[in-house]
Chain A
Amino acid sequence: MANDTIKLELEVPGDDFTRAGEASSTVKGMLKKLGFSPNVVRKVAIAMYEGEINMVIHGGGGQITVEISPESGVSMSLVDHGPGIPNIELAMQEGWSTAPDSVRNLGFGAGMGLPNMKKYSDEMEILSEVGVGTTVNMKVHLA
């Protein structure tokens, strides 16, 4: 594996539910190719996919920046300019969701995404301002 850090900028369209997950799929494929362990690949894939889905169903889309380092692991920054999260502590609780029935009919909206992102990432921080947007930073360490 080369030692350089790889930086990726990925666009997440906010108006196309069927395309949600493309960014996570790209990153997953790349990590696999680079030879990261199945455990690291899976942690990144699930954490990022949950975040990407949130960007689409709650945040109106945005950008994801990923930094892949063979030495220290994978950092992800998910940025949207949606409505923001008024109460982050509440949003982090399992089962808490503001998703409407239309989202539930698509198979999401159980209020499990943020807690799951916390579970699969080794570091996570949410920065959010109502009316401005949300940034979720996550890191998955190696090993």
Chain B
Amino acid sequence: MTVREVQKILNATLLCGEDALDAQVRTSCGSDMMSDVLAFVKDQSVLLTGLLNSQVVRTAEMMDMVCIVFVRGKTPDQSVVDLAKARGIAVMATRYRMFTACGLLYEQGLKGGCESDGE
């Protein structure tokens, strides 16, 4: 699916990254621990998180992710959005909670991208 479809499925507000809306995404991960994202993620391209600090963007940047979704209706400081914008990463905020947001995307075909999950 595309980043635009992620936004639609999650009924999310786009905070930056219009240019990335047509990027294709196949896999995703959800976590509030950036340590785990750095250690376990392989080539997932969407990051769902409830954490709001600048290291979320840094982590996504280092992992070459294209889209960050903030869950539970939280929005980060503008400085965090600006950091993502400068790196061409799309940022959006959804009112859904983590479990529901992940479930909705999974249902529409986005995978975890983890072999041991038997997908």
Contacts and interface: CB of A to CB of B under 8 A. Distances in A.
B38 A106 contact: no
Contact of A107 (B34, B39, B64): B34
Nearest to B40: A112
B34, B35, B55, most chain A CB atoms within 10 A: B35
Contact of B58 (A49, A104, A109): A49
Q: Give the size category of A's interface with B.
A: 20 to 34
B62 A110 contact: no
B49, B55, B59, most chain A CB atoms within 10 A: B55
B35 A112 contact: yes
Interface in A31-79: 38, 42, 45-46, 49-50, 53
Contacts of A46: 38, 62-63
A45 B62 contact: yes
B55 A116 contact: no
Given A49-B59, A113-B38, 16 more contacts: A18-B79, A25-B58, A28-B61, A38-B64, A45-B61, A45-B62, A49-B38, A49-B58, A49-B62, A104-B33, A106-B51, A106-B55, A107-B35, A107-B59, A112-B39, A113-B39
27 contacts: A18-B54, A19-B54, A20-B55, A21-B54, A21-B62, A45-B62, A46-B38, A46-B62, A46-B63, A49-B58, A49-B59, A49-B62, A106-B51, A106-B53, A107-B32, A107-B34, A107-B35, A107-B51, A107-B55, A108-B33, A108-B55, A109-B35, A112-B38, A112-B39, A113-B39, A115-B39, A116-B38
Interface of A: 17-21, 24-25, 28, 38, 42, 45-46, 49-50, 53, 104, 106-113, 115-116
